Amino acid sequence: MSTTRKRVLITGAAGFLGSHLCDRFIAEGYHVIGMDNLITGNIKNIEHLFKLEQFEYYHHDVSKFVHIPGQLDYILHFASPASPIDYLKIPIQTLKVGSLGTHNLLGLARAKKARILVASTSEVYGDPLVHPQNEDYWGNVNPIGPRGVYDEAKRFQEAITMAYHTYHGVETRIVRIFNTYGPRMRLNDGRVLPTFIGQALRGEDLTSFGDGSQTRSFCYVSDLVEGIYRLLLSDYAQPVNVGNPNEITINQFAEEIIKLTGASVKIIYKPLPTDDPKQRQPDITRAKALLGWEPKISRAEGLKITYDYFKSLPASEWDITPKEFIKG
């Protein structure tokens, strides 16, 4: 039976999203090849899969030539630092995985006649002048600002993916992912949700940047994975937003975390980082129409699951500091 399984390569497999995608494709009966160089991923996220015959793992940097022996039906390219604390520490690797890594995987898809889905991001919209953001909006991005290494890597990734689609006829899919959360996030990854929960667990005041009026929209990870799965199997090659349009200010979100955790803490304010987007809300009209998809998990339900996950970690991990990265 294993010889008849469709084979899927998932890059960034040990990361937050990549590991959940591995679980989903295993559950759907695929043979999953996970690939990660562990620069931001954690092998613990996928070690439960190692005992399975239908899972294999390659420790590899996709910015270097990628070879997978045998048949390959699908590729999901999720290898990339995805939070400011990561891509500000490793800006060159961030640019390389979005450019060289994507190029390598598109070449592999072409050689194997595989369909490839690339993980883009709401950051291609930058600090948006259009609200909510739909896929036809071109964005407002500072290419040389501190966030430019991530934003422009993803914008280039979309451009080369569409070039391979139009010039070489490769079957491509592009998902633009908005803020996603759930178990296996890193408490130290610098994004607002794990930061707030980590601070609450440690009894620290919650740090809000700016005046806290900026907005975010949070999608629970199982909803996102469902949207990605449907997009991969669709026949649509243009970008599709996948996220939860339920918008909330950072101040409101901080109050929700304080209430959820019962922590005796307050909100403190620090200056807004350069080029930090003031608003973030997906227009998911396209995903609804094409994929029949919309999020199902409420923020209250998703936050409870995520908080219970973080609370279950050893207390020593609540105070974890960001790992050092290799320059290059």
Q: Examine residue 123 and state whether it is found in any structural domain, yes or no.
A: yes
pTM of the shown model: 0.93
Residues 21/75, Cβ–Cβ less than 8 Å: no
At 184-203, the pLDDT tens digits run 999 888 888 999 999 999 99
Q: Examine residue 6 and state whether it is found in any structural domain, yes or no.
A: yes
How many folded domains does the chain comprise? 1
Q: Examine residue 249 and state whether it is found in any structural domain, yes or no.
A: no
How far lies 192's CA from each of 196, 197, 209, 216, in Å? 6, 9, 10, 9
Q: Examine residue 135 and state whether it is found in any structural domain, yes or no.
A: yes
Q: Examine residue 104 and state whether it is found in any structural domain, yes or no.
A: yes
Provide the domain limits for residue 87. 2-182+219-244+281-296
Q: Examine residue 164 and state whether it is found in any structural domain, yes or no.
A: yes
User: Beta strands 267-270 and 7-11: pairing type?
Assistant: unpaired
Residues 84/50, Cβ–Cβ less than 8 Å: no
At 260-289, the pLDDT tens digits run 999 999 999 988 776 667 778 899 999 999
User: Beta strands 74-77 and 180-181: pairing type?
Assistant: unpaired
Q: What is the CATH number of the domain that holds 32?
A: 3.40.50.720
Amino acid at 128: P
Residues annotated as catalytic (active site), given as ranges: 150
At 102-133, the pLDDT tens digits run 999 999 999 999 999 999 999 999 888 999 99
User: What is residue 319's predicted lDDT score, i.e. its pLDDT?
Assistant: 63
- Joined tokens for residue 191: 């994004």
Q: Examine residue 115 and state whether it is found in any structural domain, yes or no.
A: yes
Q: Examine residue 251 and state whether it is found in any structural domain, yes or no.
A: no
